[in-house]
Amino acid sequence: MEYLKDFENWNILKKEIDSSNNRIPFFKEGDVWWVHLGANIGSEIEGKGTKFLRPMIIIRKYSPQLFLGIPLSSKLKNIWSYIPIIINTRKESLLITQSRSISSKRLLHRFGEISEKELRKVKKQLIYIIKNNPSG
């Protein structure tokens, strides 16, 4: 059975999120948030459920409106692009190749954080991947 992406409902929700005048939530680097990631194209990671949500770690805060985030997955794979990490005592994977800039309007709610030490480690891994292209 073929998976059909729900672009129509994502477009409706995306318009609501964009036009929302809700207060921008306070967030910081190392926070883990549920984010309205949406229905995306091709191999781009997307959110799940009716709200198109996926957990993300905030790696770099550019401004109160914009940050660099890396999505998480509960799938654990032994490949270079899935970096294991513990979030709230659960093993997760950082999908390092799916890092991207995100509007803070997409933030739904915070549910955890990683330590400063872990955040530095993740940033080093991201820089290494950008510089070295391990996929060849």
Residue 1 has pLDDT above 70, yes or no: no
> What per-residue confidence (pLDDT) applies to 42?
86
Residues near 74 by beta carbon (within 8 Å), at least 6 away in sequence: 90, 92, 93
The CATH topology of domain 7-132 is: SH3 type barrels. (2.30.30)
| pLDDT tens sequence across 63-114 | 999 999 999 999 988 888 888 998 888 899 999 999 999 999 999 999 999 9
Phi, psi values for residue 76, rounded to 5°: -110, 120
Would you say the pTM of this structure is higher than 0.75?
A: yes
The domain limits of the chain are 7-132
